Amino acid sequence: MAFTFAAFCYMLALLLTAALIFFAIWHIIAFDELKTDYKNPIDQCNTLNPTVEKVKKIKRVKIAIKLVLPEYLIHFFFCVMFFCAAEWLTLCLNLPLLAYHVWRYMSRPVMSCPGLYDPTTIMNADILAYCQKEGWCKLAFYLLSFFYYLYGYVFIFHLYFSALYFSFVSTE
């Protein structure tokens, strides 16, 4: 239950961060599958022919594109919320990630659809490695933020109740 706007923000942030963690895990899995394709033992018929699964892998990159924008928008929504709730410390912690998202989106390859990943260059080993590292770092950040919001929520909640309790006791 949300008593103050700040507590409400933290609770909402908690729930949405769970979604962000899910996105980050999907991101990691997608790139890992793209990368490890060639390390699997390959069947005789599929040896040199592109199979239907492999075509889907490239399509999976396009799905990742559909995941990337919601992630950025959700995170932007957090920042706006925390700004409105005057939670400055939390906002400052999220600002670097917001700046990074903006930079990443601005320096994406020329594309007609909103998206970050170019199927022709994604298989370059250095770009692939960069995307994987990015996935892991984001997962770590979102996990930490999850626990931070959890703590924040409990802290504010506890603050309110102790304020309520003291006010209750003091009126005794």
Partner 1 sequence: RHLGHYPSLPPGYQNTSAPHATPPIHPAMQAATQPYTQPPGGPGPAQLSPSLAAMSLQSSTPEALRVVNLLQERNLLPPAPVPAPTPCLTQDLQKLNCSPEVFRSTLTSIPQTQSLLNKAKMPLGLLLHPFKDLSQLPVVTSSTIVRCRSCRTYINPFVSFLDQRRWKCNLCYRVNDVPEEFMYNPVSRSYGEPHKRPEVQNATIEFIAPSEYMLRPPQPAVYLFVLDVSHNAVETGYLNVFCQSLLDNINSLPGDSRTKVGFITFDSTIHFYNLQEGLSQPQMLIVSDIEDIFLPTPDSLLVNLNECKELVQDLLKSLPNLFEKTMETQSALGSALQAAFKLLSPTGGRMSVFQTQLPNLGVGALQSREDPNQRASAKDIQHLAPATDFYKKLALDCSSQQVAVDLFLLSAQYCDLASLGCISRYSAGSVYYYPSYHHQHNPAQVERFQKDLKRYLTRKIGFEAVMRIRCTKGLSIHTFHGNFFVRSTDLLSLPNVNPDAGFAVQMSIEENLDDMQVVSFQAALLYTSSKGERRIRVHTLCLPVVNSLSDIFAGADVQAITGLLACMAVDRSVTASLSDARDAMTNAAIDSLMSYRQSVLTIQQPGLLVPACLRLFPLYILALLKQKAFRTGTSTRLDDRVFAMLQLKYQPLAYAMLMIHPALYRVDDLTDEGALNINERTIPQPRLLQLSVEKLSREGAFLMDAGTVMYLWIGRNCHSNFLTQVLGVPNYAAVTATFPYVDYLLPELDTAESQRTRAFIGWLRDQRPFFPSLHIIRDESQLKASFMQNMIEDRTESALSYYEFLLHLQQQISK
The residues of the shown chain that bind partner 1, judged by CB under 8 A, are 34-35, 37-38, 41-42, 44-45, 47-51, 54-55, 57-58, 109-112, 118-120, 123-126
Task: State in angstroms the smallest separation of the CB of 47 from partner 1.
Answer: 5
Could you tell me if 98 and 76 are in contact, meaning their C-beta atoms sit under 8 angstroms apart?
yes
4 vs 46 by CB, closer to partner 1: 46
Task: State in angstroms the smallest separation of the CB of 70 from partner 1.
Answer: 22
As given in the structure block, the two tokens for residue 82 are 């925390």
37 vs 158 by CB, closer to partner 1: 37
50 vs 70 by CB, closer to partner 1: 50
Task: State in angstroms the smallest separation of the CB of 102 from partner 1.
Answer: 20
54 vs 158 by CB, closer to partner 1: 54
Own/partner pairs, 56-64, CB within 8 angstroms, 24+ separation: 57/33, 58/119, 60/30, 60/33, 60/34, 61/30, 61/34, 61/117, 61/119, 61/122, 62/115, 62/119, 63/30, 64/26, 64/27, 64/30, 64/116, 64/117
